[in-house]
């Protein structure tokens, strides 16, 4: 089942580009119906144009409230025919009105191993704490920042004294793998909520597992193409 996807972004859009690339190489079965960007001039707008994908620039400053803005964004997504929303560097908290329009179908990637180091400086906070391992998390979105159920995580070494940019580059490389993988599992309807309504589990698939990357631990394991 092809995933009918909308992407919300605020910045450069590298995770959006990873989704586009995964679709082009046949790894991700998704129809990216729409990109919505809340910041005029952001790089993701150019990326969407280059990919031939409709991009609506909806400056949140033009709406009277967060709730009003979110309802307008949800309406645009529903009109596009999308039923799943991926946040790709989207720097706004979502309200209940938005999340209720797409129950258990809003996904985000965070540059740390949740529940550790939530917030907008995940990689920097992990480095400042002095952790030896950090990484990234793809998770469902709820009304609490970086709080929803975990779908997949990738762990990488954090090397004492290294520049933050080097650590962030390693994390971003894994984001660009695990995010499209999580979306493909959604496309295949393999992510199921347990009876308690809080825990997720992944149904088995037929695709072979990818060869593990040196120095990286991913759970659940990546499949071929990612």
In terms of Cα–Cα distance, which of 90, 191, 195 is closest to 145? 90
Quick one: average pLDDT of 23-29?
97
Q: Is 108 annotated as a binding residue?
A: yes
Query: Which of the following is catalytic: 60, 104, 110, 139?
Result: 110
Q: Is 176 a catalytic residue?
A: no
| pLDDT tier at 1, thresholds 50, 70, 90 | confident
What would the two tokens of residue 155 be?
Answer: 């762990």
In terms of Cα–Cα distance, which of 90, 82, 81, 66 is closest to 15? 90
Question: Which residue in the block uniquely carries the two structure tokens 């998770």?
Answer: 139
- Residue 109 CA to residue 132 CA, distance in Å, equals 21
| pLDDT tier at 24, thresholds 50, 70, 90 | very high
Q: Which domains does the chain have, with CATH numbers?
A: 1-103 (3.40.50.170), 108-225 (3.40.50.170)
Quick one: average pLDDT of 120-147?
96
Percent of the chain having pLDDT more than 90? 95
Average confidence score pLDDT of the chain: 96
Please check whether residue 48 is in contact with residue 55, taking contact to mean a CB–CB distance below 8 angstroms. yes
- Residue 224 CA to residue 27 CA, distance in Å, equals 8
Question: Which residue in the block uniquely carries the two structure tokens 């149904």?
Answer: 203
Q: Is 84 annotated as a binding residue?
A: no
Q: Is 100 annotated as a binding residue?
A: no
Q: Is 38 annotated as a binding residue?
A: no
End-to-end Cα distance, the chain:
18
- In this predicted structure, the answer to whether residue 196 has a pLDDT above a threshold of 80 is no
Percent of the chain having pLDDT more than 70? 99
The verdict on whether omega for the bond into residue 220 sits within 30 degrees of 0, i.e. cis, is yes
């Amino acid at each position: 089942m092809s995933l009918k996807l909308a992407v919300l972004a605020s910045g450069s859009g590298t995770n959006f580009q990873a989704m586009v690339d995964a679709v082009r190489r046949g790894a991700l079965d998704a129809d990216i119906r729409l990109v919505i960007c809340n910041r005029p001039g952001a790089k993701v707008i150019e990326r969407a144009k280059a990919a031939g994908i409709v991009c609506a620039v909806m400056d949140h400053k033009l709406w009277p409230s967060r709730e009003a803005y979110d309802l307008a964004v949800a309406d645009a997504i529903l009109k596009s025919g999308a039923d799943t929303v991926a946040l790709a560097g989207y720097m706004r908290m979502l309200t209940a009105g938005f999340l209720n329009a797409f129950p258990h179908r809003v996904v985000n990637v965070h540059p740390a191993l949740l529940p550790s180091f939530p917030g907008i400086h995940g990689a920097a906070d992990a480095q400042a704490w002095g952790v030896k391992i950090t990484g990234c998390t793809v998770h469902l979105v709820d009304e609490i920042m970086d709080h929803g159920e975990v779908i997949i995580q990738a762990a990488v070494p954090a090397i004492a004294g290294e520049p933050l940019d080097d650590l962030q580059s390693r994390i971003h490389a894994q984001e660009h793998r695990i995010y499209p993988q999580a979306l493909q599992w959604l496309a295949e309807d393999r992510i199921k909520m347990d009876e308690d309504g809080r825990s997720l589990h992944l149904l088995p698939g037929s695709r072979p597992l990818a060869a593990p990357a040196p120095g990286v631990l991913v759970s659940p394991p990546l499949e071929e193409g990612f």
